[in-house]
Structures are given as structure tokens and as C-alpha cells.
Amino acid sequence: MTNNSNNRQSFRHEVLIIGSGAAGLSLALRLPPSVKVAVIAKGPETASSTYYAQGGISSVLRPDDSFASHVEDTLNAGAGLCNEEAVRFTVEKGPENIQWLADLGVPFTSDLSKEGQKTWHLTREGGHSYRRVIHAADATGKALETTLLNHALHSDNIEIFNHHNAVDLITGGKLGLDHNRCIGAYAYNKQKDCVESFQARSVVLATGGASKVYLYTSNPDGATGDGIAMAWRAGCRVANMEFMQFHPTCLYHPEAKSFLLTEALRGEGGKLLLPDGQRFMDRFDERAELAPRDIVARAIDHEMKRLGAECMYLDISHKPAAFIRSHFPTIYARCKELGMDITKQPVPVVPAAHYTCGGVHTDLNGCTDVENLYAIGETAFTGLHGANRMASNSLLECLVFSQSASKHIQQQLSQKHNWDTVRPWDESRVTDSDEDVVVSHNWDELRRFMWDYVGIVRTDKRLQRAKHRVDLLLSEIEEYYGNYKINNDLLELRNLAVVADLIIRCAMQRKESRGLHYTLDYPETDTTDTPHNSVLSPPNFETQ
């Protein structure tokens, strides 16, 4: 660690991981103790989407299940756009990664067999043919994140920097060098109100998704697409951003901000109801409540618009109360706090933006188009999810690709390396802003028009309106960014605007309805040609 002339610290590690969720912490823990690792956490360490994940992790863990079945289910959910090699790669590495977590001490829920032996309890979620979702009650993400974090905090080679928001990647091209390798990142220290430089031989983007680009989301506040936006600005391709998954069942209550009702509720027999108490999912899909999320979300959206209703209802009260309280203690407790008893009554639900299926284009090692730069987890586009992510495949992806990326990084670290000189952050030509209202206004406008025009159901006209709005916002934000000192809200707004533009551009390319992208102008899936991914290349894209 060194100090520059402006009293802003600069740091040097062998590996820099931006993001402290399941993907980032898993990778950090899989690197040898001899490798010095920096983990940048946007808030406190537990502010990631992982911490809020309820359902579980999908993996083939029973003899009556098979890799072939898991692969087939994932391909079916992905609506023709999954990369089968990536799917098979991920599925086949599932069991060893679950065992790795169990060895670390993740407290997975278990049952006693008839013979009195302890076995993992597996549940079934939408799109799965078998029970293959391992979980820790209904707070799997919390158990996973807490366990990983505890190990990281006790690892001598891992240094965690809380309350740091990455600003931009540092590449050779930006420094005027004869290469465009990624050599670090600038990060805004929220507590010290300054920008610090982090230099590394390998940089990993594990910043999660971009669902905060929408007005209603199940994600925490930090899900602003930072890694995707930074990679795009650094010269990486981005793919399939039109496929934004809306979780069908978020709790509808003014005090229940972003509270998700896990799909496992439907997996254990929960029914979706109209306001008059009638079921409706069987009119949309023969799998009813266990249909993939895109179908369930569109069905709820359709019924809400048809009836002019504010919400639909989810009912699991027909199951034994003891079963509900033991399997869904977090949901039971939260609903009880809000005056609802899920053991006795249906609860109101609405769809909300939940998962980014597209992202930074990578290979099976997490490598991006920029040398020394990796992307893993929800930030990345690996080809696993296709046009729709199947339930509980997301945490599995985090684990499997942190494993493969860690192996590739170790190979790279074994090579000889010369450190480049990184310049400190320069804000000598900017001033403090007296117009912060511009940021808050643009933040609100962006999320509202994305919800209205680029949401669950789209049209060409809505997309054109959104593109016009986002173009104006991008130019206004860049002018503001160039003239004033940065702060956290400005950084997130800048990234959200980039991500919104990428979503809109990908959506405008797709002249069909497929998976999570549904448009009234092209309501059918195009069966005349080979399905294609929506791949965008930035202006500074260079083929390796």
C-alpha cells in the first residue's frame, strides 16, 4: 500500500475482486493462501444479492435424478438460447461444489430417512423435473454468504474493503500504454469521500446484476449493473441484455420493500389466486404454478392488467401450519410482522425485476474480451441461462465459475509479470456540485420509463420512446460526470443509464418473442432461423 500526493491511498494485490457476494467470495477462498487478494464490497459485506436469496442451489444430488435431466430442464427453460456446453459444464460440477460448501459448514436443511440417516432436504422449483434444490430453510443466501464471509475474514491473504464503489477499470489503453490489459480499478471510498486506486495482476468483476434499473425489484439497492457498465466502457462485448427476469412473486405491501416470496412456496404446493380466490395459472400453462418464471410473471401481469388489480395472491395455507413455519421461517416471520399469517390466509404478490440473464461476454473460465479481466456470476453472460434462467441455477453458476476462474487465474499468476505505473485519480478540473437534484431526478425518471416501456411486455413504440429518453439521459449524465466531483449516487446513475441503453438496444434487435423478452409486435417465437444471441460490441472493442 502507498500514498499519493493527494493523500489518496493506492493498493497493490495480485488479484482484485470487485463484489462480495457468492461469486466473489467463493473465488477469493479458492485461491491459494500465498495469493494476496483484495475484495471490494460496495456496502457492508452482506449487502450483496446473495444474502437475500431464499430458494436454494440446484444440483443433482439424488440417485433418481440425472445430469441429463438437469441439462434438459435448463435447455427447455432457456428457450433455445442456452449454450449446451456451458449448461453441461455447470450441471456436472454441481455436486462437487455443494460438497465444497458443506465442508465449509453451510447449514443445509436435512431430513431423517426411514433408516434414521441424515440426508439433505431437497425441494422442487419451477422448470425442474425432480427435487434438486438444496437449501438452508428459506434463507439459503444468508447462510451461504455468512459462511463464506466468516472464512474470508479469517483468511490472512484476503483483504476486504467495505463501502467502496468501483468507478472504472484501469486498462493499458486508458493509460496510453502499448497494451490494453486490465491492470486494476479506481474505487470511490464512501467513508473518506475520495477515489483510491487498486492495482492487480488479475481483476474479477463479480458485481451482480442490474435489476435496480427498474422501478420495482427484488434486489438490494446496490444492484446497479456496475460491472457490466465498467466492462462495456473498457472494451468488452455484452450479450442478451433484453432477457431481464421478473420474479413472479414479490410481497405487495408498502412496508415490504423488495421482499421476495421464494419459488419454493409454489414448489411445496402454493397456489396463485385471483382477488376472488380463483386459480388461474392452469389457463396459461399445463405446469400451472410450476411453469418457468417468465410464464408465471406474464400470467400475473396479464391478470392484473385485465382486472385492473393491484396484485394477485399466493396461498399455501392449505399445508400444515407446522410444515410452513419450519420450511419458511423467514417468510412466515416477515409476513407476521406485517399483519399477515401465511398459515391461515393468502398473501398479496406482484412481479418485480429479479435477475439479469445477459451480461459481460465470457468463456467457461470467466475470461472476458480484455486480457486479465474476468467476469463471474450474474455480471457475466456464460450461455448458461439463455433466454430465461431456471430457478436456483444462479447460485450454482456463481460457484462453478468461481471455481474455473480461480484455476485460470492461478495459471496466469505463475507467469512472469512487470507492474505498470498507475496514475492516481485526477479531479483537478472538477468542482463540487450544487445541482444534486439533477441526479435524483434522472435516477427516478430512468427507472420509471424502464418499468413502463421495457418491462414484462414490450412494443416497438415503447422501446423507441425508451431509447430516445435514455440517449438524452446519457449525454446529460456524461456532461455532469465530467464537470463535478463524483459521489455514490452519480456513479450508480451513470452505470444504470449505460445498462438501460444496452437492454433497450438488445431488445430492439430481437424481432420475436422468446423467453423473458415478450413483445406485442412480434408475439410468436421465430422458428425460421437458428436462434441467435444479441451481442453488442463497444466502439473500442478489439478482437484478441
Whether 263 and 296 have beta carbons less than 8 Å apart is answered as: no
Q: How many residues does the chain have?
A: 544
**Tens digits of per-residue pLDDT, 13-26?**
999 999 999 999 99
pLDDT tens column, 155-176: 999 999 999 999 999 999 888 8
- The 10s digit of each residue's pLDDT in 360-376 is 999 999 999 999 999 99
Domain covering 248-354 in this structure, CATH number: 3.90.700.10
Per the model's pLDDT, the better-predicted residue between 164 and 423 turns out to be 164
Are 2-243+357-413 and 436-524 equal in CATH topology?
no
Mean pLDDT of the chain: 92
Collapse the DSSP code of 316 into the 3-class scheme (helix H, G, I; strand E, B; otherwise coil) and give the result: coil
The correct answer on CATH 1.10.10.10 for the domain covering 2-243+357-413 is no
Pick the CATH number of 436-524 from 1.10.10.10, 1.25.10.10, 1.20.58.100, 1.10.1580.10: 1.20.58.100
- CA-to-CA distance for 194 and 140, rounded, in angstroms? 35
Maximal CA-CA distance, the chain: 73
pLDDT of residue 8: 64
pLDDT in tens, 226-252: 999 999 999 999 999 999 999 899 999
**Is the confidence at residue 493, as pLDDT, over 90?**
yes
pLDDT at 6: 47
Evaluate whether 170 touches 150 at the Cβ level (below 8 Å): no
Could you report the per-residue pLDDT of 386-412, keeping only the tens digit for each? 999 998 999 999 999 999 999 999 999
Single out the catalytic residue among 30, 201, 233, 293. 293
Q: What is the mean pLDDT of residues 138-148?
A: 92
Alpha helices in 269-386 (DSSP H): 293-307, 321-327, 329-337
pLDDT band at 434 (very low <50, low <70, confident <90, very high): low
pLDDT tens-digit profile of 176-207?
888 889 999 999 999 999 999 999 999 999 99
pLDDT of residue 463: 98
Domains of the chain by residue range: 2-243+357-413, 248-354, 436-524
Closest CA to 439 of 492, 504, 498: 492
- What percentage of residues in the chain have a pLDDT greater than 90? 74
> pLDDT value at position 543?
59
Measured distance CA(262)–CA(329) in Å, rounded: 12
506-518 pLDDT, tens digit each: 999 999 999 999 9
Say how far apart CA 187 and CA 41 lie, in whole Å: 10
Q: What is the pLDDT of residue 115?
A: 76
For residue range 440-449, list pLDDT tens digits in order: 889 889 999 9
Model confidence at 303, pLDDT cuts 50, 70, 90, reads very high
| Residue 542, pLDDT score | 75
Residue 293 catalytic? yes
